[in-house]
Chain A
Amino acid sequence: MELIPGSGITINHYLWLSAILFSLGAFGILYRKNAIIMFMSVELMLNAVNIILVAFSKMWGQTDAQVFVFFIMVVAAAEVAVGLSILMMLYRNMHTTDTDVLDKLKF
């Protein structure tokens, strides 16, 4: 049945949407080697999760999913903070954000 009254939009639409966004995020990190862009792609994946969560909370008529979305945002923020600082440190040492340079550790 439809999620939003008076429209043909069912939960499945949102499932697909978030699935697509999630996969796009994955595509991003696969496709690019630049750390910054890859971070962004991860953020994209997180947001795909957010969307579907909100949609579900609408479906079940419960708030906790939306609260969860808050926490996801919080975590995202924290991650970005740490991640970017790591990135900066890396840049300081290697003068690049190209992840393929990072292969000292292997085999």
Chain B
Amino acid sequence: MLTILLLAIPFFAAGAALLMGQKFAKQIALFAGLAELLTTLIAIYFFKQGDPNGLLTFHQDWIGPLGINYSFGLDGISLVMMLLCSVLLPLVVYASWHKSYKNPHVFYSMILLMVGSMVGAFTTTDALMFYIFYEFALIPIYFMCLVWGSGENKARVTLKFFLYTLFGSLFMLVALLYVYQSSGSFAFTAMYEAANAMSAQEQGWLLAAFFIAFAVKIPVFPFHTWQPSTYDAAPVAGTMLLAGIMLKMATYGLLKLVLPMLPEGIAEYGGWCLALCAISVVYASCMAIVQKRFKLLIAYSSIAHVGLLSAGILSGNAQGMQGGVMEMLSHGIISVGLFFVYDIIASRMHHDEMNRMGGIRDVNPQFAFLFFVIVMGSVALPATSGFVGEFLLLLGLNQYSPLLTAVAGLTVVLGAVYMLRSFQQMMLGASNHNTLNFAPLTQHEKIVLSIVVGLIVLLGVYPSPVLELSNPTVENLLLGIH
């Protein structure tokens, strides 16, 4: 029942926001977010209890003969993802609190719809349902970019984004259907069994299909070209959702669908995927180094991080998967933080070209401090959440291939290069006429940044609650894999 509640809250809130109209939209969204968070916490509580009265699972036939059902269930991993959604939703809403969007009610209902669909994707235990939510999430974000986005060619950019991701995900549909031929049901468990029974070669093909689908969304080199331009065109709230949650659907898919379904396929042909992930780490880092604009730099850095993330997950061992879970959470928080920082800067400077700034630290040390912690999180300094995730990922990846680890590990160095460079260019040095009158942080900016920073440090110092939440589920999946 709780799962249904989790699912219902955003969708109802979306409807409410749409109807209540201009005035209360953001309040509704914020409230929904907090309610979602509360529900998630309750769910976690029950999960710890071992779900005595089956509140965490829900099943309802939809089109029985076709094996499509409304079936939802919360396990450790999805709870972590729920945590991600329900923490980020209020954060994102509150981050754009003082922004004035036209037709806020539509805007916020779009946000809520998107989050709702992602909640669905994270909580369902039916592969087709997963696909449906996965696809549906496209629509709201598309319109957010199209209507509220910026940039003169946003239409073209968003078009590309939509088509590209659609193109990818349709391959997943085919793969799902192909497995369904032999499973006769879209329930995850049934899909696992059916796929496991297949020959390594079949699994290889399925892997290819799934990987294309997810690689486009994650995105992994060379399927990433839609991402920077889209992040650039999207309104900042949209970008936060894209980077923070949306791409996690893909990595979650890798974790919950690909790994358990296609162990032999991965063993045989997975090397290609992992290699691509590793390449995209280095490639994206290099791209980030040459960026002149901060938003694009964040975009590329995000590609680098999720490259490592997916590589670690695909390595298919406890460390990799746990690291994946942790990194999904941490990357979500950090990228929201970074994009919010971007927003703060851009809204004051009206541009985000780094070499035209400098010395902001001198004007606004508080901001610089908070920003610096986020940067450290993004370069995975120990005692930040980024480290826990990336270190586990590297540990996992290393068990798959030390060579790839060495390649992907370069993110440790290159990440430092571009993040520090951007930080120093913008924040340090002597303040110039552009930055001299850099307005101090508003109250809500402080709050949002502090929450982000707090989470980064907290998760870095004391991540075990999260890890213990997902650990049993990961163990189960591993039992299936080996």
The answer to whether A and B touch in the complex, with CB atoms under 8 Å apart, is no
